[in-house]
Amino acid sequence: MTDTKSPARGTSRPATSKLWLIGLICAALLKFSTWPNHRYALCSEEGSIYTVAPDKPTVQCLVVKGSFIESTGEIQIRVNSPLYAMTTYLPWTSRLLNPWYLKVVKLKAGSAVIPGMADAHAHILEYGFKMELQLDGAPSTQDVVARIQKYIDSRPDVHKNTSTWIQGMGWDQTRWPGAQFPTSDDLSDPLLEGRPIALRRVDGHALWVSSRVLEMMGELPTEVDGGLIIRDANGKPTGIFVDNAMTLVPIPPWSEKDMDNYFTTAMTDALAHGLTSIHDADSQPEAIAFFKKQSEAGNLPIRAYLMGNVLSDEYWGAQIPRLINHGAHGRLNVRAIKLFTDGRSPFPFLADISHSYPLGALGSWGAALLEPYSDNPSTSGLMRSSKSALGKLVNQFYEDGFQVNIHCIGDRANNAVLDIFEDIIMDSADPDNVTASWRPRIEHAQIMTMQDLERIGRIGVIASVQPTHATSDMSYAETRLGPERIKGAYAYQMLLQNSKIGVLPLGSDFPVEGINPLLGFYAAVSRLSVDGTSPHGEGGWFPNERLTRAQALKGMTLDAAYAAFAEDERGSLEVGKKADFVILDRDIMKVPADKILSTKVQATVIDGQVAYGAL
């Protein structure tokens, strides 16, 4: 019988143990290399990384470490790495051997990197709402009805329940035959009969309702302060409510589920279009609480700068919390409030309040002008509150340390607000310090006298503008304003040149305009519609007011950051700043203007992490 000996103790186990130990070490090194302080380099041999930094506007490479930009420079920053050859040819091995492994991402030819884009004036939840039933581009009332029919047919629960409110946004009567306001009778289709329907105009300043809504409202007041009920020749309401008259319409509040859905839609689309920061230009306390909850749960994927608002002429600062870099990722800020002068329209989406949704008002003759409209001499627009009442509020908010941002469309509104701001700034011992520490803003700054165009820059008030408003309004703006007054409207280059601080933050006012920030970039540099036309030809509408591409890029990055007190931490690709950037599949700073809108976002990066697409 052959004697079979058992393996000597320890003869085979050491090999297994060593393999196990090596695996453990490898796993640890791999884990360590993905910790928050991981590093990677992004490089472009074409030098198409646009930093918006004055001393180094373009670079070939930038290195990201954790959430921040560690360095920028020429291609040598990676070539000089002692591990460059190893990371190029043996990336897996080098990562195991070196936990400080530097991954190098080489940009494709023709692509570009820009700082994360910001929208300096938008409405986040309202965007999600609008996407439910979009009426943009509808060529007639019949087309609007067809879209509502499709909406009802696609939702069995809505189809069965005729008491469900149907809401949409985007109609524009100026694009219809005759350019007349619609009426409730235009919503008399059998499928629509008996349903409460409320449809907001593209600028948010008029509400078109069905006959069922008029029945629900009962007897209406003869006049509405700061608003208008359109009536026919017999004095009967037609179904159109303008500005403050919209508060009369009993639209139900949004539910928590509604807000969640709208928020998700807005965040998804924002990231897909390269937005890393949004200034929400009218946040009620309830909306602020919603964003606060999302930020604390780590569910805020972008940076949100909220402007608090309460629908009251009595001081309401105590209702707005102060939040600085709040939440799990420090992406929520609340330190500004929003006030309104002309053309104001409510958007009731929260219980027991009428939420103001103030947007461009020229299309519905709501902008407050110093002289009557050229095409409607019977009106000079609407001022929501008196100058004295507004001044009292502004002074109180200033004393309490809030940035004050005020909606102004018409020259009368802009003039009144500049008077208020100038009194505060120039009465101080150190005017320059007031403008630097307070940073008051005029939202829209759309129509100004030549004197006020000079004054806004001289006293240091920030003009926050939306370039797509110019190209959206250019078909009728001169008819509304006349040949002289139009020279001070949508004057973006003049506003920038007059600004003593050299900033002009750009936004879109979505959902009035599209959420894609490149729409604004294109409008700013071309002054053309998306089809390449304008009332002044292919050279653009009032082409002297075009921005250069460098000015436009700065306006949607660093200038927007300045307007939110964040220029030291983001807005440009500089060492020590947040690693927020966007990779585009083409170089918008070089391609022909008609190619800009074909640009696609390849990746949106926030805090050094990919939030959309891939590196």
Do 146 and 243 lie in a common domain? yes
pLDDT at 243: 81
Q: What is the mean pLDDT of residues 535-551?
A: 97
Do 132 and 221 lie in a common domain? yes
- Closest to 225 in 3D by CA, of 113, 389, 371: 389
The residues facing 229 across adjacent strands are 241
pLDDT at 385: 79
Examine residue 64 and state whether it is found in any structural domain, yes or no. Answer: yes
Do 138 and 235 lie in a common domain? yes
Cβ atoms of 241 and 248 within 8 Å: the answer is yes
The DSSP symbol for 234 reads T
Do 44 and 91 lie in a common domain? yes
Count CB atoms within 10 A of the CB of residue 295: 22
End position of a domain, from candidates 218, 248, 278: 248
Count CB atoms within 10 A of the CB of residue 459: 18
Cα angle 388-390-394, degrees, rounded to a multiple of 5: 115
pLDDT at 17: 60
pLDDT beyond 80 at 571 = yes
CATH code at position 603: 2.30.40.10
With the CA atoms of 593, 479, 209 and 126 taken in that order, what torsion angle do they form, in degrees rounded to the nearest 10?
A: 30
Residue 233 C-beta-side C-alpha neighbours within 13 Å: 0
> Which of 343 and 238 is assigned the larger pLDDT?
238
What pairing do the DSSP bridges indicate for beta strands 227-231 and 237-243? Answer: antiparallel
Single-letter amino acid code for the residue at 404: V
Do 223 and 145 lie in a common domain? yes
Cβ atoms of 32 and 100 within 8 Å: the answer is no
The DSSP symbol for 167 reads E
What would the two tokens of residue 510 be? Answer: 């979505």
Torsion sign across C-alpha atoms 587, 588, 591, 596: positive
Q: What is the mean pLDDT of residues 189-196?
A: 95
User: Could you tell me the pLDDT band of residue 225, with boundaries at 50, 70 and 90?
Assistant: confident
Examine residue 14 and state whether it is found in any structural domain, yes or no. Answer: no
The residues facing 171 across adjacent strands are 201
Examine residue 206 and state whether it is found in any structural domain, yes or no. Answer: yes
Q: Which distant-in-sequence residues (6+ apart) come within 8 Å of 513 by Cβ?
A: 466, 468, 469, 472, 519, 520
Q: What is the mean pLDDT of residues 7-21?
A: 53
pLDDT beyond 70 at 13 = no
Do 102 and 132 lie in a common domain? no
Helix (H, G, I), strand (E, B) or coil at 418: helix
Do 142 and 96 lie in a common domain? no
Burial readout 195-223 (b: 16 or more C-beta within 10 A, e: otherwise): bbbbbbbbbbbbbbbbbbbbeeeeeeeee
Do 130 and 243 lie in a common domain? yes
pLDDT beyond 80 at 544 = yes
What would the two tokens of residue 110 be? Answer: 């023709």
Cβ atoms of 169 and 202 within 8 Å: the answer is yes
Cβ atoms of 279 and 121 within 8 Å: the answer is yes
Do 65 and 130 lie in a common domain? no
Provide φ and ψ at 94, rounded to 5°: -65, -30
Over the stretch 521-541, which tens digit does the pLDDT of each residue have?
Answer: 999 999 999 999 999 999 999
User: Could you tell me the pLDDT band of residue 491, with boundaries at 50, 70 and 90?
Assistant: very high
pLDDT at 125: 96
pLDDT at 24: 60
Do 144 and 96 lie in a common domain? no
- Closest to 148 in 3D by CA, of 186, 112, 94: 186
Over the stretch 42-73, which tens digit does the pLDDT of each residue have?
Answer: 999 999 999 999 999 999 999 999 999 999 99
Alpha-carbon distance of 330 to 298, in angstroms, equals 9
Burial readout 26-51 (b: 16 or more C-beta within 10 A, e: otherwise): eeeeeeebeeeebbbbbbbeeebbbb
pTM equals: 0.85
pLDDT at 82: 45
pLDDT at 161: 95
End position of a domain, from candidates 248, 274, 309: 248
Q: Which distant-in-sequence residues (6+ apart) come within 8 Å of 597 by Cβ?
A: 518, 519, 522, 530
Percent of the chain surpassing pLDDT 70 = 86
Examine residue 209 and state whether it is found in any structural domain, yes or no. Answer: yes
Helix (H, G, I), strand (E, B) or coil at 4: coil
Alpha-carbon distance of 111 to 589, in angstroms, equals 11
Strands (E) in 88-172, as ranges, are 103-106, 112-115, 117-122, 166-171
Over the stretch 331-363, which tens digit does the pLDDT of each residue have?
Answer: 999 999 999 998 643 333 332 222 333 333 676
Cβ atoms of 118 and 591 within 8 Å: the answer is no
Cα angle 145-151-154, degrees, rounded to a multiple of 5: 140
Q: Which distant-in-sequence residues (6+ apart) come within 8 Å of 228 by Cβ?
A: 241, 242, 243, 245, 382
pLDDT beyond 60 at 94 = no
Cβ atoms of 528 and 541 within 8 Å: the answer is yes
Examine residue 485 and state whether it is found in any structural domain, yes or no. Answer: no
Examine residue 161 and state whether it is found in any structural domain, yes or no. Answer: yes
Cβ atoms of 354 and 254 within 8 Å: the answer is no
Examine residue 86 and state whether it is found in any structural domain, yes or no. Answer: yes
Examine residue 186 and state whether it is found in any structural domain, yes or no. Answer: yes
Mean pLDDT computed over every residue of the chain: 88
Per the rule left: phi > 0, alpha: psi between -120 and 50, beta: everything else, 31 is alpha
Do 84 and 158 lie in a common domain? no
Do 225 and 135 lie in a common domain? yes
End position of a domain, from candidates 193, 213, 248: 248
Over the stretch 365-383, which tens digit does the pLDDT of each residue have?
Answer: 778 999 999 999 998 988 8
- Closest to 339 in 3D by CA, of 495, 424, 443, 419: 443
Cβ atoms of 441 and 406 within 8 Å: the answer is yes
CATH code at position 229: 3.10.310.70
Domain residues for 225? 126-248
Q: What is the mean pLDDT of residues 152-157?
A: 95
Q: Which distant-in-sequence residues (6+ apart) come within 8 Å of 395 by Cβ?
A: 420, 424
For the packed helices 256-272 and 285-296, what is the interaxial angle rounded to 10 degrees? 70
- Domain count of the fold of the chain: 2
pLDDT at 359: 34
pLDDT at 174: 84
What pairing do the DSSP bridges indicate for beta strands 441-444 and 403-408? Answer: parallel
